[in-house]
Amino acid sequence: MQICKVKNYQELSRKAANLIAAQVILKPDSVLGLATGSSPVGTYEHLVAMYENGDLDFSQVTTVNLDEYKGLAGSDEQSYRYFMNTHLFHKVNIDHAHTYVPDGTEPDAEKACQAYNELLHKVGPADIQLLGLGHDGHIGFNEPSDHFEDETHCIDLTETTIQANKRFFESEEDVPKQAYTMGIGTIMRCKKLLVIVSGKDKAQILKQVVQGPVTPEVPGSILQFHPNCTIIADEDALSEMTI
């Protein structure tokens, strides 16, 4: 694991965008694994700016997203498809047919997960996968468990995650209780991982992920075993660690 310490969220976003941009510049037909949530918003803003400046071309890029709430359609403002469309896909010259997010409208979990796995096998492991970190140590929506799931599966969101994500919904009752998520195995097979972590509220869990035992009870701890994993974290997120 390589840890890149930055001052604040702005610097984190700039650096993460630069690394993703470098990937696309060096390999224009890259497969980018993408994440949603608060952490990558600034990164996407920088990528859009680079595109607008003529420095980045997404025309040959394919994207695969980590997860989607079960039961939400892409037209729903809280869905991760909607998030990706508004923060990135609708703002750059990407071919929308080459942007993939699990199908939250498929009620049959087995069917939804199988379809996403087939797609992931077809497009291949991501050249670079962007990850945020949940307060309970989740990556994607791989919540704490007694084992690591290999491929896409349907997950019951933990109370911690529901509490953390209710800020995006009108009320707590509106937060979906389940999601489809890429598995830990799929994430670990990506060629490069780029983890972005910001804020004091993530300091304790980041320390566990980086310096604690590797255990499915802290899903992100598996990243210690990835051969090419970079964590960009700000001073607040690193405040519990001496590096």
> Who's near 167: CB < 8 A, 6+ residues apart?
none
Residue whose C-alpha is closest to residue 131's, from 196, 79, 188: 196
Contact residue for ligand F6R among 11, 19, 38, 240 (CB under 6 A): 38
Q: Does 140 bind ligand F6R (CB under 6 A)?
A: yes
Q: Does 176 bind ligand F6R (CB under 6 A)?
A: no
Between 60 and 145, CB nearer to ligand F6R = 145
For residue 43, what are its two tokens? Answer: 């990164």
Q: Does 101 bind ligand F6R (CB under 6 A)?
A: no
Report how far Cα 215 is from the mean position of its chain's Cα atoms.
20
Residues 206-225 that bind ligand F6R (CB under 6 A): none
Edge-to-edge, what's the strand order for the sheet holding 178-181? 67-69, 178-181, 153-156
Contact residue for ligand F6R among 102, 132, 137, 219 (CB under 6 A): 132
Contact residue for ligand F6R among 16, 64, 66, 126 (CB under 6 A): 66
Q: Does 36 bind ligand F6R (CB under 6 A)?
A: yes
Q: Does 237 bind ligand F6R (CB under 6 A)?
A: no
User: Can you give 192-211 as a three-state secondary structure string?
Assistant: CEEEEECCHHHHHHHHHHHH
Q: Are 147 and 224 in contact (CB under 8 A)?
A: no
Interface residues toward ligand F6R, by CB under 6 A: 35-39, 66-67, 132-134, 138-141
